[in-house]
Structure 1
Amino acid sequence: MKPRARKTWLALHVISSVGWLGVTLANLVLASAAFGAPHLYRAMALLGDLVVLPLALTALATGVVLGLGTRWGLLKHRWVLAKFALTLVAVAATTFSLRPELHAAARGVAGAGTSVLAASCVSLAIYVFSTAVSVFKPWGRTRRRA
């Protein structure tokens, strides 16, 4: 990949990943406050549909492009593989668990608010860990080196 293209893809990846982390932090704050103000779950559901999911899919897609198009590879380094696996899990959880729970909480389903708060905590931990892995690039190369 040419340097200008790599930098463009990298900028898109960082923007979408940091955006995903930021919206998750905002959702954590909203989930905490929503126990006393349940109408906040509607805002969280909107964020889930219109912001979180597009950011998640963009972070995944740009990460794959960078993995395939740069020297890091998608399967050459353990840190890239770990980020890829965590991102796949996070995108699946966002799509099939978090968003339905947000909508359930917005409808007033009992217990959904606790699930949303827990999901926000887990999501934030995953994104902070992935960010740290991106900076420190630990664990060396994989055996596959593909």
Structure 2
Amino acid sequence: MGPRARKTWLALHVISSVGWLGATLANLALASAAFGAPQLYRAMALLGDLVVLPLALTALTTGVVLSLGTRWGLVKHRWVLVKFALTVVAVAATAFSLRPELHAAASGVAGAGRGVLAASCVSLSIYVFSTVVSVFKPWGRTRWA
């Protein structure tokens, strides 16, 4: 991958990752307030559908493209492999757990939405950890390097 293409993909990756982190912070704030105002779950469901999931998929896609198109590789360094695994888990949890829970809570299903605050905290922890791993690049190379 040439320098211009790498920088373009990197910019897209950073923008989508930071956006995903910001949208998660917004969901965390809304989840904290939703205990007294259940209508906020509608806003969270909308945010999940139109912002969080597209940003998550973009971050995953651009991360894979960058890993395959640069010297880091997808399986050459442990930090890349850990970030990839965490991102896949976070995208799957967003798509198949968080969004359905938000839609159920927005529809007024009794008991729905209880895990949303915890899910937002876990998501935020994953994204912060992934960011730190990206900066420090720990753990060395894998046996496939």
TM-score range, shorter chain: over 0.9
SS in 2 for 1:138: coil
* Count of aligned positions: 145
Q: Give the equivalent residue in structure 1 for 2:5.
A: 5
Structure 2 residue runs of 5 or longer lacking an equivalent are: none
TM superposition outliers: structure 1 runs of 4+ over 3 Å: none
The residue identity in structure 1 corresponding to 2:106 is A
Q: Which residue of 1 aligns with 2:39?
A: 39
User: Partner of 1:112: helix, strand, or coil?
Assistant: coil
2:113 corresponds to 1:113: yes
Tell me what 1:27 maps to: 27
TM-superposition CA deviations, 1:112-145 (whole Å, max 9, x none): 2221111101100000000000001000000111
Identity of aligned residues (%): 88
Calculate the TM-score normalised by the size of structure 1.
0.97
Report the AA paired with residue 72 of structure 2: W
Q: Distance in 1 between matches of 2:6 and 2:39?
A: 42
Counterpart in 2 of 1:144? 144
Aligned to 1:64: 64
Question: What whole-Å deviation, never above 9, does each CA across 1:95-115 have from its counterpart, x for those lacking one?
Answer: 100000010111122332221
User: What's the offset of the Cα at 1:90?
Assistant: 0.5
1:91 corresponds in structure 2 to 91
The amino acid that maps onto 1:6 is R
SS in 2 for 1:135: helix
Q: Deviations over 1:6-60 (max 9, x none)?
A: 0000000000001001100110000000111111100000000000010000000
State the TM-score, normalized to the length of structure 2. Answer: 0.98
What CA distance in whole angstroms lies between the structure 1 residues aligned with 2:111 and 2:3? 49
Indicate conservation of the 8 Å contact 1:35/1:113, yes or no: no
Structure 1 Cα separation of the partners of residues 13 and 88 of structure 2: 15
Between the aligned partners of 2:32 and 2:17, the Cα distance in structure 1 is 23
Aligned residue in 2 for 1:101: 101
Q: Provide the secondary structure at the position in 2 that maps to 1:81.
A: helix
The gaps in structure 1 that reach 5 residues or longer are none
